[in-house]
């Protein structure tokens, strides 16, 4: 045993006497490198990096190791199996395997040490964690921690092995509440709307965290970036029963009835117009939206050709209705008139005011408010919403509120007269947003009025 220690607490380091000279320099080859890992784990992280809730980590860990996620990522599954097949590993594999995008856990944008801390605090019932020395034998980049999941053990659940089987368990949901800004938030919200699990015993954290297998917002995603969420998502469940239950409880069409005794999450879902449908129905609606967008972009391409009409059939009168889909000239039931405003306000302040009334923040308000039509110095304005749902929500807010501001939904002749003075290009963009198309902000395309001198 040498008189030189590999690690000394900081408060004793200054008092330590210099070592007795030796004829040969002491060797540090056998110093345990685990001390460096202990310092890293116990060192406080900068405040700028702590941007996530630690109790979100177990939920995202379960999504990152769900049967569906491993089925969708065969390379990850094979790398994990390669580690767990080695008896000496005792079914542990590197935590770093599930930290890289597009893994759900990567949405936290946290370091491996921060994730390990959160798992030790909130995930002890779901996963075993240990520190290790990185090895060059791993195919992927290995970090300083290894995990062994305590859920989805062999034979648990009846998981499909085909795409059709998973599609039967997938539901499309939209109009998620504003508070559902993260994957973990959506996971908790959807779980709260499901019926209690039926079984011989009480539900456990391990069984609850596997009911939802995946959450993703449809659209173009890069494998090099963390997953992003919008106000709509495709949710894949462990069982077909949960998928059917959610669709039946929150149908795509029809009004919901709400009782005062309902839970807060159900009240939020009712307020924002939350609804769900099967993936099959969503794919049909999505195909219809795409055809509609193509007709708007290329109207002549879809016009019927004269030589396609049978000459033996009588000519269709010009007064008969067109066989093609008739598009509205403006988005109906999306216009709200606001009065009793402060004369000294401006568009920016009004946009913030109305977004607060709808429960949106500056980053997501564009999903609800299309344009604030306001002239400086007057006490009223028109607000163009992206859907009738948001228009009704804004009117309801100021109807129930006790303040002086009043809101009125504009329909009929007044609505037609208003939209007639809006440029045609802006009207088409508003219609595109209503039916689910993508477009730029109409506020940027609205022509500026000339200032009077």
Specify whether 136 is located in the same domain as 171: no
Question: What DSSP line would sit under 142-195, residue for residue?
Answer: P-SEEEEESSS-TT-S----SHHHHHTTEEEEE---TT--SHHHHHHHHHHHSP
Specify whether 118 is located in the same domain as 179: no
Q: How confident is the model at residue 49 (pLDDT cuts 50, 70, 90)?
A: very low
Average pLDDT, the chain: 79
Q: What are the tens digits of pLDDT across the range 98-121?
A: 998 899 999 998 999 999 999 999
Q: What are the tens digits of pLDDT across the range 125-179?
A: 999 999 988 776 666 777 899 999 987 644 545 789 899 999 999 999 999 998 8
Specify whether 187 is located in the same domain as 276: yes
Per DSSP, the three-state class of 209 is: coil
The answer to whether the CB of 439 falls within 8 A of the CB of 423 is: no
On whether residue 373 sits in a domain, the answer given is yes
Specify whether 117 is located in the same domain as 172: no
pLDDT confidence of residue 214: 96
Specify whether 126 is located in the same domain as 174: no
Q: What are the tens digits of pLDDT across the range 307-329?
A: 554 545 555 444 444 444 567 88
- Looking up residue 402, the CATH number of its domain turns out to be 3.30.70.330
The answer to whether the CB of 163 falls within 8 A of the CB of 227 is: no
- Out of 245, 266, 281, pick the residue that ends a domain: 281
On whether residue 252 sits in a domain, the answer given is yes
On whether residue 262 sits in a domain, the answer given is yes
The answer to whether the CB of 267 falls within 8 A of the CB of 189 is: no
Per DSSP, the three-state class of 130 is: strand
On whether residue 330 sits in a domain, the answer given is no
The answer to whether the CB of 171 falls within 8 A of the CB of 278 is: yes
Most confident of 4-13, 37-46, 282-291, 372-381: 372-381
- For 327, other C-beta atoms within 10 Å of its C-beta total 13
Q: How far apart are CA 270 and CA 257, in angstroms?
A: 8
Specify whether 341 is located in the same domain as 428: yes
- For 393, other C-beta atoms within 10 Å of its C-beta total 19
The total of structural domains in the chain comes to 3
pLDDT confidence of residue 46: 45
Specify whether 363 is located in the same domain as 265: no
Q: What are the tens digits of pLDDT across the range 26-47?
A: 444 444 444 444 444 444 444 4
Q: How far apart are CA 422 and CA 401, in angstroms?
A: 31
The answer to whether the CB of 173 falls within 8 A of the CB of 233 is: yes
Residues 6+ apart with CB under 8 A from 444: none
Specify whether 140 is located in the same domain as 169: no
130 lies in which domain range?
54-149
What is the distance between the terminal CA atoms of the chain, rounded to a whole angstrom?
92
Specify whether 109 is located in the same domain as 171: no
On whether residue 154 sits in a domain, the answer given is no
How many H helices and E strands in the chain?
17, 11
pLDDT greater than 90 at residue 451: no
Look at 113-122, 197-206, 279-288, 310-319 and tell me which has the smallest mean pLDDT.
Answer: 310-319
Among 281, 283, 167, 163, which residue's Cα sits nearest to residue 235?
167
pLDDT confidence of residue 361: 84
For residue 231, cis peptide bond before it (omega within 30 degrees of 0)? no
Q: What are the tens digits of pLDDT across the range 404-434?
A: 899 999 998 899 989 999 998 899 888 888 8
Higher-confidence position of 182 and 253: 182
């Amino acid at each position: 045993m040498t008189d030189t220690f590999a690690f000394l607490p900081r408060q004793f380091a200054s008092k330590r006497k210099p070592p007795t000279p030796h004829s040969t320099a002491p060797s540090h080859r056998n110093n345990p490198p685990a001390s460096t890992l202990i310092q890293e784990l116990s060192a406080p992280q900068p405040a700028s990096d702590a941007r996530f809730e630690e109790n979100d980590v177990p939920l995202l860990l379960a999504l990152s190791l769900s049967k569906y996620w491993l089925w969708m990522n065969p390379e990850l599954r094979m790398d994990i199996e390669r580690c767990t097949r080695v008896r000496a590993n005792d079914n542990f594999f590197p935590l770093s395997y599930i930290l890289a995008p597009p893994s759900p856990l990567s949405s936290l944008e946290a370091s491996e040490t921060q994730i390990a801390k959160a798992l030790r605090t909130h995930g002890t019932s779901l996963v075993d964690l240990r520190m290790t020395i990185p090895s060059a034998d791993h195919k992927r980049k290995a970090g300083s921690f290894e995990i062994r999941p305590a859920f989805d053990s062999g034979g648990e659940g009846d998981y499909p092995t085909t795409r059709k089987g998973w599609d039967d368990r997938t539901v499309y949901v939209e109009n998620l509440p504003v508070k559902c800004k993260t994957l973990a938030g959506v996971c908790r919200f959807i779980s709260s709307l499901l019926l209690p699990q039926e079984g011989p015993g009480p539900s456990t954290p391990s069984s609850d965290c596997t009911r939802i297998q995946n959450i993703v917002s449809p659209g173009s995603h890069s494998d090099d970036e963390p997953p992003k969420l919008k106000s709509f998502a495709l949710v894949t469940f462990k069982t077909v029963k949960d998928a059917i239950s959610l669709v039946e409880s929150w149908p795509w069409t029809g009004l919901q009835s709400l009782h005062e005794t309902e839970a807060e999450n159900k009240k939020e879902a009712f307020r924002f117009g939350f609804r769900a449908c099967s993936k099959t129905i969503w794919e049909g609606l999505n195909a219809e939206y795409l055809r509609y967008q193509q007709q708007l972009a290329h109207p002549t391409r879809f016009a019927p050709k004269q030589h396609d009409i049978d000459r033996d059939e009588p000519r269709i009168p010009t007064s008969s209705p067109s066989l093609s889909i008739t598009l509205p000239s403006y988005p109906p039931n999306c216009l709200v008139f606001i009065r009793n405003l402060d004369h000294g306000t401006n568009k920016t302040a009004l946009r913030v005011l109305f977004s607060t009334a709808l429960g949106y923040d500056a980053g997501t308000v564009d999903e609800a408010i299309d344009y604030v039509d306001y002239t400086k110095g007057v006490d009223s304005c028109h607000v163009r919403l992206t859907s009738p749902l948001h228009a009704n929500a804004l009117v309801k807010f100021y109807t129930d509120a006790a303040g002086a501001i009043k809101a009125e939904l504009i329909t009929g002749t007044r609505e037609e007269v208003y939209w007639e003075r809006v440029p045609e290009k802006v009207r088409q963009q508003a219609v595109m947003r209503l039916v689910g198309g993508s477009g730029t902000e109409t506020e940027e395309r609205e022509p500026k009025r000339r200032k009077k001198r």
